[in-house]
Structure 1
């Protein structure tokens, strides 16, 4: 037998909120996400309450909602976004300084958004750095072996002979 008392408490909260604010929950737009419960308990909840059932992986504000530590597979969305952006730029005949500026502003902003919520796995960071290096040094064919300097040199300040990009590894630690 399933104890519905805690769930009925939530339902009561929704109704009290609606009475006070005038805002009602939209059952057609609501989805219930459950983790770490038995199938019988899940089925009992869904039979009792009029919500749709959803399963992870779900994106919210462009970020995946996860119940575990982030893996490389979870980062594929970020990697594909970066590839997509770079693919759209590689035929624009950008000079080296333009490519550097796009990496410094657009790609760094994408990465920083993800890093603000997650700690990226090192395999994800390596893949991102490989894509960025290929874009910086070998447009339009995106060959990773045509680098003029090592990628670690790119992160050094301009005063010390680097290109002034921010290190993804360091940002990930912060």
Structure 2
């Protein structure tokens, strides 16, 4: 159908592929930042201020699938603890 303020207009069943664009947008936004150049507090502030605002409008109107929310949290944790595909790091707190 299209989009309204970046949220897809849905006339059918909501699947995990429906919000794939939000996940991709979040990954691309964090790809421009380097977690190694930020302090831990700076990374927390960046996640709370910038990254958490991406899916908020879509979440106000439609309930997201649990898997989508889990993936968003995983992206946040990976950025905060410096986990990348090249260097896998253990998260100290889940």
TM-score, normalised relative to structure 2: 0.86
Q: Which runs of 5+ in 2 are unaligned?
A: none
Counting only pairs closer than 5 Å after superposition, residues 19-168 of structure 1 correspond to structure 2 as: 56=1, 58-90=2-34, 93-138=37-82, 141=84, 146-150=90-94
* Contact 1:86–1:135 (Cα < 8 Å) also in 2: yes
Runs of 4+ displaced beyond 4 Å: 142-145
Instruction: Name the CA distance, whole Å, in 1 between partners of 2:5 and 2:57.
Output: 10
* Contact 1:103–1:132 (Cα < 8 Å) also in 2: yes
1:69, distance to aligned residue in structure 2 (A): 3.3
Deviation string 1:85-139 (CA, Å, 9 cap, x unpaired) is 1101126711111111111111111121111121010010111111111001115
Q: Which runs of 5+ in 1 are unaligned?
A: 1-55, 151-174
* Contact 1:70–1:118 (Cα < 8 Å) also in 2: no
TM-score, normalised relative to structure 1: 0.49
Taking structure 1 as reference, are residues 89 and 108 closer, same or farther at Cα in structure 2, changes over 3 Å only? same
Higher relative contact order, structure no. (Cα contacts within 8 Å, ≥ 6 residues apart): 2
Q: Which has the larger radius of gyration?
A: 1
* Contact 1:72–1:124 (Cα < 8 Å) also in 2: yes
Instruction: Name the CA distance, whole Å, in 2 between partners of 1:100 and 1:91.
Output: 10
Instruction: Name the CA distance, whole Å, in 2 between partners of 1:75 and 1:144.
Output: 26
Task: Please tell me the root mean square deviation across aligned C-alpha atoms, in Å.
Answer: 2.0
